Chains A and B, each alone.
Chain A
Amino acid sequence: MVHADRLAGAALAQKGSKGVPACMACHGANGEGQTASGFPRLAGQPEAYLLKQLQAFAGGQRKNSQMAPIASALDAQQMRDAADYYASLPGWRPQGQTRAPSPQYALGLRLATSGNWSKDVPACFACHGPGGAGVAPHFPALAGQPSVYTRSQMKAWQTATRTNDPQGLMQSVAEKMTDAEFDAVSLYLEHPSLDEKGK
């Protein structure tokens, strides 16, 4: 198997290639994503996870009209290069952002750290690691993801437009949750803090 070429991945990210726009156009100059439009953060995600997502966009297990043609235009080597490059970038770190305390944020914190076992919903962080920093290779980081993105993915699992989660774990979580819970947990994960006041 050919090794990933991080420099080629960086070039792809910054300039794109034939028929493929630069990743950074949507995912940000450093793979940090775009909060308002909900393009996800890629920086610091596990390499295997990123590669699997590109394959899923091309293969239709993740139905996404923007990513499907792009992923389909990438060859296997380019996918590996891009995944390797973004995995090498630093992940999310709290940078003193504060979030106004709200019942919604508090609910999000509870779901992320304790879950809702009355409905058999485990805590996000039970699998995605303390603080939602991710557990390579299978569990991506959640911390710092745009809430628009997290929410859309929860809905995608619930409605089976995304079906590439291992063992259907996320589908089984999403189908037990309400829209209000999606909103709360997505809001929380954008700036997760262990303090209910969002400090």
Chain B
Amino acid sequence: MSHPLKHWFESQKQTRKFHPAWIALAVSATLGVAGIIWVPAELVSRAEAPTAHPPPPPAADNKEMHPADMPTVIEQTPGPARLRGAKTIRVDFSPPADAAMPTDEFGEAVRLGKNIFTDTQTYARGYVGNKLNCVNCHLDAGRKRDSAPLWAAYVMFPAYRDKNKHVNSYEERLAGCFRFSMNGKAPAPDSKEMIALISYSYWLAKGAPTGIALKGRGYPKLADPQQPPDEGRGKLVFEANCALCHGADGQGTQVSGRYVFPPLWGQNSFNGGAGMSQIKNAAAFIHANMPLGKGNTLSEQQAWDVAKYMNSHARPPDPRLAKSS
């Protein structure tokens, strides 16, 4: 019994200041306090799981994360998440793979919708008044986030729009694209083209929550420019970054009568009523997506300037103004 700890024990017992049961008391008290802290923390972290761990990106071989994988806009949405008590939730949604497209009659409509979307000049020829295709502004066949993807648009309709001061159906929203962006006339709501485009949008949105602003919706809004957008600076940005594909004259590039790169102004481009004819929309699209494959490499000021330059050129007039005059 020469162990110093044993000695100390005995001495403490004799002074009656200590009893071995105290050790048990201290240990259980510590565990109790730890439990009080840990259990709620665990519950909270489970509740926040969608925020803390966004689902993995769809690509199998995601060796490198590119800035585009981390969009600058994170939608904070109310709805079911709030009801469950979480403060925010980021709704990450990925549309189904093309390989999952159904092969039945509905699948045929979806497929036609995709064809119209990527080759509007061929599949909706009668409704288009310029040389553009839907996919020019909605990249990756309407799938790419931050490029006004169809799956994010679909779940936000019906909706009130300031543009026409009433509640719009999704059909009416698509009709607006034909009238303004395509400078043409819309297919009827029950036409096979309109049904096909809606089918494609609906299918891309399969599994997405309705009425929730999904991450990647629209074009990420830019902050107000530090300097007023300037055509002169924009022209330099254009020549250095855009002319390679869109041509020094902005009229695009054709191969055997088909446009590989779309015309940005003039009679073959979108009209003055199109969303893209507003500098803020054009700047947002350009910043997130141009040059193709090098999105988010221009500065925001460069995007504002080149958007101003693009929209300083003549284009077909807004048909609403023509009608009223």
Contact = CB atoms under 8 A, between A and B. Distances in A.
Q: Do A and B bind each other?
A: yes
A7 interface: no
A31 to B, nearest CB: 20
Contact of B139 (A117, A118, A127, A167): A117
Interface in B287-316: 291-295
Given A133-B255, A169-B294, A173-B293, A119 B244 contact: no
A94 B34 CA distance: 72
B249 interface: no
B64 A176 contact: yes
Nearest to B144: A117
B241 interface: yes
Contacts of A114: 98, 140-141
A96 B154 CA distance: 42
Contacts of A178: 61, 63
A176 B64 CA distance: 7
A115 B293 CA distance: 10
Given A130-B260, A167-B241, A119 B253 contact: no
A180 B141 CA distance: 24
Interface string B68-110: 1100000000000000000000000000001000000000000
A64 interface: no
A116 B59 contact: yes
B118 to A, nearest CB: 10
Interface of A: 114-122, 126-127, 129-130, 133-135, 138, 166-169, 172-173, 175-176, 178, 180-181
Interface of B: 57-59, 61-64, 66, 68-69, 98, 139-141, 143-144, 240-241, 244-245, 253, 255, 258, 260-261, 291-295
B260 A117 contact: no
B255 A130 contact: yes
Contacts of A115: 140, 293
Nearest to A138: B244
A117 B244 contact: no
B252 to A, nearest CB: 11
Contacts of B261: 127, 135
A196 to B, nearest CB: 10
Closest 6 CB pairs of A and B: A118-B59, A122-B293, A120-B68, A117-B140, A120-B66, A117-B144
A118 B293 contact: no
Nearest to A115: B140
Contacts of A122: 139, 292-293
A107 to B, nearest CB: 10
Contacts of B59: 116, 118-119
A112 to B, nearest CB: 14
Contacts of A121: 293
Contacts of B69: 118-120
B100 to A, nearest CB: 14
A127 B258 contact: no
Contacts of B245: 127, 138
B62 A118 contact: yes
Contacts of A133: 255
B255 A135 contact: yes
A119 B66 contact: yes
Contacts of B291: 167, 169
A130 B133 CA distance: 14
Given A117-B143, A119-B69, A135 B260 contact: yes
